[in-house]
Structure 1
């Protein structure tokens, strides 16, 4: 095999963490893949992968080579496409990362629509609520909701999603009415487990700001579980519109204290900080940015926009 093919196999081995998985993907045998990686290591004079019967991981030299090799191959593919007159036709694999809830509710359908527009693109959508290293994990585009963004990535700000207090009608029917923000403290409050503010909730009504100390017995680090708990009438929650707008529209949840809202949630699309970006990634970012901005749940905000 030639060096470029050896590099492609090595890159997929790092990304999939398995020579067997690479072989299955390429339709070849595992010994063929192993031989290709060994040939590349021999050419370079360094060990690129630490292999055992149960695991595979890049060495320090392998991790550094992976970053450069992936960029080289992407630039090579772009040069080939341009030379063949195909530079306006996106091709190849696109790896996308997103938090589970928004990925499942909003991004996955957009990914399928994107694939219908560009039949020569393959798309691998990975759900992960943690902040992944885009280069190390071979991610082309990542969607991020609030929080600090990595300095070594290129961020494109897309929109903000308002946050509203919501609850199930059956919950509200069984509990004391809410007439002011301070009344929230007397109710069961369902929240995300890792909020930096803990039980303190900041609510806004125009220029007015109120901080409420909430109380609740259920905290969870997954937005879909918060959605389910609110549907089950387990309490009140402060949720971004993208998470609950369909339920509010259908009457399964209702807004509580509708004149008040929380700090809106930022939405960004990230890509690795590198000189070259494949056409498929650029088109995907433009497509998703436009589609999400068009949704009502990413409309205007009622409070100053700050990271959450």
Structure 2
């Protein structure tokens, strides 16, 4: 029996809750994975998984074995990496998850040079605004904006993007420029659709903080749509600079109330909370951290 493969199949079965999902990852069939796990159970003399027609989960003994198996696999991978030393070549699949707008606008272009540099590496980029379970969904690296992070992941701060009020010159010519934060209540305000504070906007100016009501008839759940609506003269919006810095540089947008700003938007690179990461994932983490720090509208971490 291939013990390492058996442990890997068992661990992923627990994490994915499906032998078919493990089979897809391994490039084999569900009956083959089932036989591998069954052989491991026979060798141990313990039932590790409870199977039904609709679900699969670890038994109490299986969950304890799962925790130990994670450590064994991590030690094995570290030993392999150490034995290979400098001769190790990055190879294999890296699964990356990122927010839709940032992935489309910034991240997508970063990955082609990395792939060209490492011809034996494959990347699967999934653009998704929800907070995914890295382990369950087999994600190697997740890009996340904002301050809410999963407690069971390793987070690396890659940079922060200031957030500024912006509008098009045409909009301001037609509607006038706000002189103070309270004036925003008389303007068309474009915002993200699902904000916890709703129409309330908190702005900062040194030690001064103002929370003001806004009024807007247009709300949207995609940052690139907000960008386009602002450039088209639809209103005023609070945007991270990574999203609009090029439009500010070309004067398609201008800053509104420039002494006031929103809370900075941090960007973190997340990886599963395991001690060992494959060389390919470590290299991509370092590469992304370097490239994000160079993006217009980002302050390096």
Match of 2:47 in 1: 46
Displacement after TM superposition at 1:22 (Å): 5.5
Alignment CA distance shift 1:283-1:84 (3 Å)? closer
Match of 1:221 in 2: 221
Q: What does 1:65-144 align with in structure 2 at a 5 Å threshold?
A: 69=69, 72-86=72-86, 88-144=88-144
Alignment CA distance shift 1:136-1:48 (3 Å)? same
Contact 1:155 1:268 in 2 (8 A): yes
Displacement after TM superposition at 1:288 (Å): 1.3
Match of 2:282 in 1: 282
More off after superposition, 97-106 vs 112-121: 112-121
Distance 1:27 1:267 in 2: 34
Distance 2:199 2:267 in 1: 23
Contact 2:200 2:211 in 1 (8 A): yes
Displacement after TM superposition at 1:239 (Å): 0.6
Secondary structure, aligned partner of 2:77 = helix
After TM superposition, the score normalised by the length of structure 2 is 0.81
Alignment CA distance shift 1:266-1:25 (3 Å)? closer
Match of 1:152 in 2: 152
Secondary structure, aligned partner of 1:247 = helix
Alignment CA distance shift 1:43-1:255 (3 Å)? farther
Distance 1:126 1:56 in 2: 25
After superposition, the C-alpha distances for 1:44-96 in whole angstroms (9 at most, x for unaligned) are 533537564xx665446677766664554354234224324456533333232
Displacement after TM superposition at 1:129 (Å): 1.9
Q: What does 1:223-238 align with in structure 2 at a 5 Å threshold?
A: 223-238=223-238
Alignment CA distance shift 1:197-1:87 (3 Å)? farther
Distance 1:125 1:117 in 2: 17
Alignment CA distance shift 1:153-1:212 (3 Å)? same
- Tell whether 2:186 aligns with 1:186: yes
Distance 1:37 1:126 in 2: 29
After superposition, the C-alpha distances for 1:10-38 in whole angstroms (9 at most, x for unaligned) are 55666777656665665544543443344
Distance 1:189 1:253 in 2: 15
After superposition, the C-alpha distances for 1:227-267 in whole angstroms (9 at most, x for unaligned) are 24324433221010112223333444332233332121112
Contact 1:78 1:87 in 2 (8 A): no
Distance 1:23 1:228 in 2: 43
Alignment CA distance shift 1:27-1:146 (3 Å)? closer
Displacement after TM superposition at 1:214 (Å): 0.7
Displacement after TM superposition at 1:203 (Å): 2.2
Alignment CA distance shift 1:4-1:229 (3 Å)? same
After superposition, the C-alpha distances for 1:256-307 in whole angstroms (9 at most, x for unaligned) are 233332121112222233333333333222221111112231138xxxx9xx
Q: Which runs of 5+ in 1 are unaligned?
A: none
Distance 1:134 1:19 in 2: 18
